[in-house]
Amino acid sequence: MKKILFIEDESALQRTFEEALKDEGFEMISALDGEIGLKMAKEKNPDLILLDLILPKIEGMEVLKKLKEDEKTKDIPVIVLTHLEELEKVEKAMELGAKAYLVKGEYSLNEVVERIKKVLGLK
């Protein structure tokens, strides 16, 4: 079973994704801030990280940078899921090594799940 780490400070959103991903055969673990997210990425060894950008303690872009600098986590694919849509943010995230940048509200739940599958090579 593939494990997905969702770093997102909105617990309601985490519950929605947990249900949707569980149904597709994924296990979801969650972190409510950037600091816990980084710690869990190192300890739990997820197959993919779903990352919000506006996060307490360590903001998402910094989390992404740290993930890619660390030998232990640098190969874990990261999908950014945020409501920030500024082009410079997209470019920066892709430059830092994100596999995809999805703007909340522009994708359906199903489309996000499909993108996760695609990044994991399941489609």
Partner 1 sequence: MGIFIIFISLSIYFIGTKFIQTPEIIALIVLLTALVLLVISFFITNSFERLAEANRLKSEFISIASHQLRTPISNFKWTLELLFSGKLGKFSPKQLEYLRILKDNSERMIETLKDLLIVTKLETASLPFKREYFSLDELTKEVIEQFKNLALAYNVEIETNFQKNLPKIFSSREQIKLVIENLLENAILYTKGKGKVLIKIETKDKMVYFEIRDNGIGIPKEDQKFIFQKFFRASNVLKYQTRGTGLGLFISKKIIQRSGGKIGFQSEENKGSKFWFSIPIK
CB of 83 to partner 1, least distance (A): 4
Which SS3 state, helix, strand or coil, does residue 94 take?
Answer: helix
- Beta-strand relationship, 3-7 and 48-51: parallel
CB of 42 to partner 1, least distance (A): 27
Considering the complex, state which of residue 17 and residue 40 has its C-beta at the smaller distance from partner 1.
Answer: 17
CB of 13 to partner 1, least distance (A): 5
Considering the complex, state which of residue 42 and residue 92 has its C-beta at the smaller distance from partner 1.
Answer: 92
Considering the complex, state which of residue 71 and residue 86 has its C-beta at the smaller distance from partner 1.
Answer: 86
Q: Is 105 exposed, middle or buried (0-12, 13-18, 19+ CB in 10 A)?
A: exposed
Considering the complex, state which of residue 108 and residue 121 has its C-beta at the smaller distance from partner 1.
Answer: 108
Interface residues with partner 1 (CB under 8 A)?
10, 12-13, 16-17, 19-20, 23, 83, 87-88, 104-106, 108-110
CB of 98 to partner 1, least distance (A): 19
Alpha-carbon span 82 to 64, nearest angstrom: 13
Sign of CA dihedral 71, 115, 50, 21: negative
